[in-house]
Amino acid sequence: MIKKLTLGLMFFATSSLFAEPAITAIKVSNSIDLSKTKPNDAIWSRAKSSTIICYPQTTIKFNDKKANELNAQNKAKAANISAIYNANSLAFKITWNDGTQNIQLPQKSDTYGDGVAVQFAQKFDDPKKLPYIGMGSKDREVLIYLQKAVEKYFEPNKDIEHQVSRDNTNAFGNDLKKYDAAVKALAINEYHKVFVGEGFRSMTQVRSDYGKLGMDMSYKGGKWSAVFTKPMSDEYVDISKVGAIPASFALWDGDKLGRDGLKYLSSWVAVKFQGKKGGDALVDELTSEPTGDVQAGEAQVKAMCASCHRFADQNAAPAAMGPALYNIGGYSTSAYLAESIKEPNAVVVPGYNRNAHKNFSWYSVDDNGTRTTTMPPMMSDDKSIADAVAYLKTLKAEVEK
């Protein structure tokens, strides 16, 4: 069985299936206000869609027993993504299959909405040093647009009068109708949020009106379609002067109690602006195939990494010792993998709350909050690193049919 699997992997390694696709953003007229675009607008027929694979996040495991059971056998999900842009904005349309439409309900404690997100890198001039895929990393910040299927919800507010349950008012008849209308007016209709992050747990919501516009999602015939629109230039990320940008995508399945890190995520994907120059290095970096020898890499990685990391059939490492690598090949770039092997301190993933697994700290923190990883540099010669990366890139779940 194992032999067959390895052969299969070798076959893939030599085929072009490893090459990651890019997304081409099609130029549209500046007179169109893209922030008002809906998923079913005719304009999307002009865009070209690419299939991007989102892999189950398995780097860290959460503590919701039911959710863990439901997500134990997750396969990867394919999303069809297209993009359009003009001088003012860039818009993505993301479509994916989801057999169940899940909406978070305002009277239940255990319902979760389906959701989708786009992540932008704040800096991407060096395509080999993109932010960590899981919500950025120190000094490599990301901007995240997130929308979820929720029924109306309420931000905490000071309007005490309308916080009382309708049955606890003394109103009835028309007065009760008025009360209901006032409550409805106070509610927020959509879960459309923008966050800035520099690693797990650090995500902080941008609370200005920024990003409130330009998100929408709709469900039809077993498929979700969502739209995100980002201004070409804003105080967080300026994408107006480049030919290509990195973006990554995430999906949540409410049916499997998905929320937060319990999601499917893509690697950084190159988005080319049709008709704009530049960004070739970025596109090359994100679309190229690993060149190393998978088999040699596998032998090395299994020998050197399995005592701290879990991956493939290697489950000997204590559960919380280091990031689990089961799907690392799906959502990491080759450059990130190489960097982490050579220079583990370049990106120290914040991982679990340090209180949750005290005996297995995968990093230490000094008084200034600087994290130092427990992992020593593993390899230094380029050949070994390239081989290891080639193997690590094969670590990913198969795609759901």
Structure tokens at 247: 């973006």
Amino acid at 334: S
Q: How far is the CB of 109 from another protein (least distance, A)?
A: 5
**Residue at token pair 């330009």:** 214
Name which of 31 and 170 has its Cβ closer to another protein.
Answer: 170
Name which of 320 and 385 has its Cβ closer to another protein.
Answer: 320
Q: Which of 51, 108, 101 is nearest to 77 (CA)?
A: 51
Q: What is the DSSP letter of 43?
A: G
Indicate the SS3 state at residue 356: coil
Name which of 369 and 376 has its Cβ closer to another protein.
Answer: 369
**Residue at token pair 């927020």:** 188
Q: How far is the CB of 346 from another protein (least distance, A)?
A: 20
Residue 282 backbone phi and psi in degrees, to 5:
-65, -45
Name which of 260 and 289 has its Cβ closer to another protein.
Answer: 260
- How many CB atoms lie under 10 A from the CB of residue 337? 22
State the Cα–Cα distance between residues 12 and 296, nearest whole angstrom.
15
Instruction: Note whether 119 and 230 are within 8 A (CB).
Output: no
| Residues that bind another protein in the complex, under the rule CB under 8 A | 62-66, 68, 104-110, 141, 150, 153-160, 163-165, 167-168, 170-173, 176, 186, 188, 191, 196-198, 200-208, 235-236, 259-261, 319-320, 352-353, 355-360
Name which of 4 and 158 has its Cβ closer to another protein.
Answer: 158
- Residue 175: its H or E element: helix 174-186
- How many CB atoms lie under 10 A from the CB of residue 185? 8
Name which of 198 and 298 has its Cβ closer to another protein.
Answer: 198
Q: How far is the CB of 6 from another protein (least distance, A)?
A: 33
